[in-house]
Amino acid sequence: MQQSLNPWITRPAPAGTADTAAPEVPVPPAAVINAPLRGMVEPDAADRLGRRVVAGFATLWITGTHGGSGESRIADLIGGARATGHCWPILQDGGKPRVLLVCRADMRGLTAARSALTQWASGAAPELELLGLAVLADAPGKTPKPLRDFTAIVGGGAPRYWTLPWVEEWRHGDSTTPPAREYQRFITDLAALAIDTTHSNTN
């Protein structure tokens, strides 16, 4: 969902700052916030994600903003990804990890995601590259409108966000990639972002 005005920003972005070049691979539209913001107040200590030194290598670190967020499930879907155990990852070699936040589409999950994004936007998180936020459905059926609206507000605080549907097969132990086009598009988007990031870091 593209919003005409990001609710995390008090005024519209200046005219002419948008990138008018069409991407070669379709990805979700970027939000206004793509880096920490000066003057953003960090959340209370109780609402912040912890930090964890992680060993080994991952092309993408998946950070759930709360228990039951689905971070392990999403990490299993993406080649080279690893879950961080609901903590911001800190690399042993001092590198800058690429991170995807994950939450459930209920009030608890979205509130936790908002706190994590506020922590990142305030500069209180470790140095990292945040690719975006994945919001996983918390129940079968259509998400109620108030939660959809809140998802749009919370998602506006991430560089990108994806909303992903409920997968009934996962409740029965089926760990295969769901056929839903939203998941296929999500995986394709992340692959394109990883390629684009690697290219940018080598130039």
**More confident: 36 or 131:** 131
What's the whole-number average pLDDT of the chain?
Answer: 82
Please, are residues 74 and 134 in contact by the beta-carbon 8 Å criterion? Answer: yes
Q: Which of 44-48, 141-145, 172-176 has the highest mean pLDDT?
A: 141-145
Q: Catalogue all structural domains in the chain, each as residue range(s) with its CATH number.
A: 45-167+174-201 (3.40.50)
Judge whether residue 22 has pLDDT over 50. Answer: no
Residue 196's pLDDT band (cuts 50, 70, 90): low
> Average pLDDT, stretch 55-82?
93
Q: What pTM did the predictor assign?
A: 0.79
pLDDT digits (tens, 9 = 90+) for 119-162: 999 999 999 999 999 999 999 999 999 999 999 999 999 999 99
How confident is the model at residue 203, as a pLDDT? 39
Confidence band (pLDDT; 50, 70, 90) for 5? very low
